[in-house]
């Protein structure tokens, strides 16, 4: 028996586009002699589908796609994910289901039992969990069909759940496992995914074919990395990251095993590729082509423009250099050199005259007050206005360049440098920005070294440095990671060795700036706990503030 795995980039709600991709994959698999071709979880409609699932028409169109695939299943079985109606009056209206189609018939449907409702996942909002588990018999083999999370409770050891779907199927003696997934990317997930698949193999002693999505859906990125694992617990194959791909596997060869071909999993390379994919798909799936951003000569905007060029092409990226009277000459020069290195169009628009116009207009109101953050924010908002004007005039979507460290502590100006349609670095700490910049420069100098080596500064007042108001980033980022990703409270942070006064100050800064993050652009998720859907905090909460 030959099994094809189609790792595809789906588009939420794009029924025609998704179906055409799957139909093409069916024919390709058929030409390669496959007996089964499998697609991802909710592949007919894309994932995460969210409240589109509440529209009857949306569910009908999902079923229409399933019917179209069923019609071409002659001589080849098709495994596809789709929402299905719950025929029982009690419970949720829908199941998250895997269809097994063959010769124009539905040979079986397995519903998902374990519905993740944590981090970015909200499946129990929409779906009813499965209570029945039956293997599918096909060409003399018994198949355990499962959907994504259903393999993440091996032996019922996950405290989130009370049932292990594969344990329920094992008395029926399946020969192998098919798992259709939509498993989002974070930089630690590829290792975790292989570990979970291997743990299943060690328990059940049969091979698994695990098919994942690739591509990006707004803030959620999928890395592919679909896995074939043999009964010996070795990775028979791991498909490419961030690429569409179809491969056909001989079941007997997989059962025999002996091969071990996992991909390397370098954190910074994975983050780089995920950010490029996030930008590329955000623009492509919304029908946008061109981006714009402010290029300051600092490391954050420098890294963002490199990623944008790699995602969209230099011809589709434009930058504005907007020096003020506080900008250093070397910052302007660094920005100009980088734009020339990349071949992007750049415009130089000094903001001092506009800033001084604001200063003059407010003179009667501000005369008794010294220069402070107000004047700093005016500069940022002048720049934001210029960028949005160019965006409106030319149709270039503005990219937000603020990093996770800055977003965490509110070190950004609403309606200024926080303007934009997509926050490219909003899930990347400042220390990781430096690592990414060095990765970009690994073969040749693209980002000027002075942008990487100089002390970070917003350059909004004379001699300003980030360290004037923030702790060093190597300390700040470690503290933020423990608080945001690891959910450590103040006592735990102090026990880890952080100074009590620093803990109280930083946690207060994080919590009182929730209102800013609520108004920020979508953040491309690359970590285990990103701002946005994965971290839902009250704006007016008193805790730790």
pLDDT tens digits along 105-157: 999 999 999 999 999 999 999 999 999 999 999 999 999 999 999 999 998 88
Q: Is 285 considered catalytic here?
A: no
| CA–CA dist 241, 265 (Å, integer) | 10
> Which range, 154-168, 194-208, 323-337, has the best average confidence (pLDDT)?
194-208
Report the C-alpha gap between 476 and 490 in whole angstroms: 14
Residue where the block lists tokens 């020969």: 175
**pLDDT greater than 70 at residue 542:** yes
Task: Report CA 372 to chain centroid distance, whole Å.
Answer: 37
Start-to-end CA span in the chain (Å): 60
Higher pLDDT, 544 or 355: 355
User: Could you tell me the residue ranges of all domains in the chain?
Assistant: 2-259, 270-466
Q: pTM value?
A: 0.96
The residue annotated as part of the active site, out of 21, 41, 419, 459, is 41
Residue 242 has phi, psi (to 5 degrees) of 60, 35
Contact 257, 206 (CB under 8 A): no
pLDDT for res 119: 94
459 is a catalytic site residue: no
Say whether 419 is catalytic. no
> Which of 21, 45, 112, 149 is an active site residue?
112
C-alpha to C-alpha distances, 359 to 114, 208, 349, 355, nearest whole angstrom:
59, 66, 18, 6
Quick one: average pLDDT of 247-260?
A: 97
**Catalytic pick from 148, 277, 290, 432?**
148
Q: Taking the domain 270-466, which CATH number applies?
A: 3.40.50.620
DSSP 8-state code for residue 521: P
Q: 485-529, pLDDT tens digit by residue?
A: 999 999 999 999 999 999 999 999 999 999 999 999 999 999 999
* Exposed/middle/buried for residue 268 (C-beta within 10 Å: 0-12, 13-18, 19+): middle
Separation CA 231–CA 198 (nearest Å): 9
Which of 344, 225, 201, 222 has its CA nearest to residue 280?
222
Buried b (16+ CB within 10 A) or exposed e, 1-13: bbbbbbbbbbbbb
Coil, helix or strand at residue 130 = coil
Please give the pLDDT value at position 467.
74
Q: Which of 361, 226, 382, 216 is nearest to 285 (CA)?
A: 216
What would the mean pLDDT of 2-30 be, rounded to a whole number? Answer: 98
CA-to-CA separations, 94 to 47, 131, 134, 212, in angstroms, rounded? 15, 13, 19, 22
Fold of 2-259: Nitrilase/N-carbamoyl-D-aminoacid amidohydrolase (3.60.110)
Distance CA 50, CA 364 (A): 51
Q: What is the pLDDT of residue 456?
A: 77
How confident is the model over 404-430, as a mean pLDDT?
A: 96
Sort strands 141-147 and 208-211 into parallel, antiparallel or unpaired. Answer: unpaired
Residue 100 — very low, low, confident or very high, per pLDDT cuts 50/70/90? very high
Residue 235 to residues 3, 50, 197, 260, Cα–Cα distance (Å): 16, 33, 9, 5
Cα 534-535-538 angle, rounded to 5 deg: 145
b/e map 496-513, b = 16+ CB within 10 Å: eebeeeebeebbebbbbb
Helix or strand holding residue 141 (H, E): strand 141-147
What is the rounded average pLDDT of the residues 321-346? Answer: 90
Q: Residue 329 has what pLDDT? A: 74
């Amino acid at each position: 028996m030959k099994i094809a795995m189609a790792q595809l980039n789906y588009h939420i709600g794009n029924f025609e586009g998704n179906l055409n991709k799957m139909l093409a994959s069916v024919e390709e698999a058929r030409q390669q002699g496959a007996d089964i071709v499998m697609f991802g979880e909710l592949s007919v409609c894309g994932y995460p589908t969210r409240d589109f699932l509440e529209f009857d028409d949306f569910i009908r169109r999902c079923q229409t796609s399933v019917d179209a695939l069923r019609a071409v299943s002659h001589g080849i079985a098709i495994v596809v994910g789709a929402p299905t109606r719950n025929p029982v009056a009690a419970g949720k209206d829908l199941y998250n289901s895997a269809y097994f189609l063959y010769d124009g018939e539905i040979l079986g449907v397995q519903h998902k039992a374990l519905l993740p409702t944590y981090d970015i996942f909200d499946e129990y909002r929409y779906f009813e969990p499965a209570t029945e588990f039956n293997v599918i018999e096909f060409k003399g083999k018994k198949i355990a069909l499962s959907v994504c999370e259903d393999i993440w409770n091996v032996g019922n050891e996950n405290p989130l759940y009370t049932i292990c779907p594969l344990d329920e199927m094992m008395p029926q003696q399946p020969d192998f496992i098919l798992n259709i997934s939509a498993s989002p990317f974070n930089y630690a997930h590829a290792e975790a995914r292989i570990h979970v698949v291997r743990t299943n193999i060690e328990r059940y002693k049969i091979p698994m074919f695990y098919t994942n999505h690739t591509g990006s859906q707004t803030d959620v990125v999928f890395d592919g990395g679909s896995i074939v694992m043999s009964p010996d617990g070795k990775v028979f194959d791991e498909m490419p990251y961030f690429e569409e791909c179809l491969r056909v596997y001989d079941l007997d060869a997989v059962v025999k095993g002996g091969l071990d071909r996992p991909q390397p999993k370098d954190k910074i390379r994975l983050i780089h590729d995920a950010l490029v994919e996030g930008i590329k798909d955000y623009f492509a799936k919304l029908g946008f082509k061109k981006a714009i951003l402010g290029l300051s000569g600092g490391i954050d905007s420098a890294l963002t423009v490199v990623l944008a060029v790699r995602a969209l092409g230099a011809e589709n990226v434009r930058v504005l250099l907007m020096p003020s009277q506080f900008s250093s000459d070397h910052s302007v020069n660094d920005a100009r050199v980088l734009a020339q290195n990349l071949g992007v169009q750049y415009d130089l628009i000094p903001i001092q005259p506009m800033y001084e116009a604001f200063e003059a207009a407010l003179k009667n109101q501000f005369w008794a007050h010294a220069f402070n953050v107000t004047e700093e924010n005016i500069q940022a908002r002048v720049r934001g206005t210029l960028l949005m004007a160019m965006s409106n005039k030319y149709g270039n979507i503005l990219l937000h360049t603020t990093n996770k460290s800055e977003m965490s502590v509110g070190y950004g100006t609403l309606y200024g440098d926080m303007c934009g349609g997509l926050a490219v670095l909003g899930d990347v700490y400042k220390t990781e920005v430096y690592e990414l910049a060095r990765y970009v420069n690994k073969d040749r100098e693209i980002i000027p070294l002075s942008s990487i080596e100089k002390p970070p500064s917003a350059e909004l007042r004379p001699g300003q440095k980030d360290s004037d108001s923030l702790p060093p980033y190597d300390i700040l980022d470690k503290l933020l990671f423990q608080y945001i990703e690891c959910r450590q409270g103040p006592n735990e942070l102090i026990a880890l060795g952080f100074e009590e006064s620093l803990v109280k100050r930083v946690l207060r800064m994080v919590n009182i700036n929730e209102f800013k993050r609520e108004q920020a652009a979508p953040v491309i998720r690359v970590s285990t706990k990103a701002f946005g859907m994965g971290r839902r905090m009250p704006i007016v909460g008193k805790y730790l503030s």
